Amino acid sequence: MTSVLRSYFLSQKQSYFPRPLKETEKHVISLVFHESDAGHKGYLSREDLKVATVSLFGYKPSKYEVDKMFFRGQAEEEELAPLS
């Protein structure tokens, strides 16, 4: 395996184990959230999420990517929801 391929695979592995966010990163995300929350609803719609992604990462996600983000968020909410 070449060193380029090895570096690529190692970098991909690291993406599965995110590091904790720094306070400055949390602050930036909070600002972008509030700026992107059209109508100050307290949550991001699909269109709001696209705007936030452009602000944070510089590109507009596809409909597929937005759907994946929404599905992941719903799955995490279901895991955290108390059983009744």
pLDDT, tens digit only, all 84 positions of the chain: 445 555 555 555 555 567 888 999 999 999 999 999 999 999 999 999 999 999 998 989 999 999 888 887 666 556 555 544
Tell me whether residue 27 is in a domain. Answer: yes
What range defines the domain where residue 74 resides?
21-80
Tell me whether residue 51 is in a domain. Answer: yes
* H or E segment to which residue 5 belongs: helix 3-15
**What is the structure's pLDDT at 1?**
41
**What is the structure's pLDDT at 34?**
94
Tell me whether residue 32 is in a domain. Answer: yes
**What is the structure's pLDDT at 11?**
57
Tell me whether residue 76 is in a domain. Answer: yes
Q: Considering its fold, how many domains does the chain have in total?
A: 1
Is the pTM higher than 0.75? The answer reads: no
Tell me whether residue 65 is in a domain. Answer: yes
Tell me whether residue 6 is in a domain. Answer: no
Q: In Å, how far are 19, 68, 71, 74 from 81, measured between CA atoms?
A: 25, 20, 15, 10
Tell me whether residue 48 is in a domain. Answer: yes
Tell me whether residue 1 is in a domain. Answer: no
